[in-house]
Amino acid sequence: MKEYLRITAHYMVLLFLSSACSSGDSSSSPEESELAIGTYTLVEISINPPQDINEDGNTTSNVLTELPCATGSLTLNNDATWTWSFADINVTPFINGNFKISCTSNTFTSSGSWQVQNNLLTLFDGFNSALFTVSNNKLTSTTGDDLPDFKNTVYERQL
């Protein structure tokens, strides 16, 4: 149970990285803001080392290829507010560097304000902030950590 709570908490922290701070001119340029507005769908959760999540004999670095219940969406509204929801994922160490990765019955939601500057999207929830790189209609949050943590998450804008 302790490991489950730690992993669940980490997944939430992936979005709300409390170390992300803004400095200097924090206003978004109108063009950058207009380009970022939209609804984004979770398309990748990268892990290392690759795992055989659904036990079909094939390993993957993208959790979503073998765990269809892992879903998420992020909406950036034109009034500089955002809403986010995702299915909670449980990562439990197994044996020999393998992990059991599964969805729980919990869905988390959050909201706040956002800004984008120099292709860096910052989400604020009132207490914490999270950073995403904006590129080619995708938002990428990178931690660079190995399992039981996630390396990165990628959301793609729905056109």
Identify the DSSP state of 95: S
Please enumerate in sequence order all residues whose Cβ is within 8 A of that of 41, keeping only pairs 6 or more positions apart, or say none. 71, 72, 73, 155, 156, 158
In tens, the pLDDT along 114-129 reads 999 999 999 999 999 9
Given a contact cutoff of 8 angstroms between Cβ atoms, the answer to whether 47 and 67 are in contact is no
Instruction: Map residue 149 onto helix, strand or coil.
Output: coil
Two tokens at 89? 């994922």
* pLDDT at res. 137: 94
In tens, the pLDDT along 41-95 reads 999 999 999 999 999 999 999 999 999 999 999 999 999 999 999 999 999 998 8
Identify the helix (H) or strand (E) that includes residue 131: strand 129-135
Q: Measured between alpha carbons, how far is 34 from 16 in angstroms, rounded to an integer?
A: 23
Look at 116 and 16; give whichever has higher pLDDT: 116
Q: Once rounded to an integer, what is the mean pLDDT over residues 139-144?
A: 92
CATH architecture of 2-157: Beta Barrel (2.40)
Task: Identify the band that residue 96 occupies on the pLDDT scale cut at 50, 70 and 90.
Answer: confident
Q: Measured between alpha carbons, how far is 71 from 3 in angstroms, rounded to an integer?
A: 22
Output the pTM of the full model. Answer: 0.81
Two tokens at 41? 């769908």
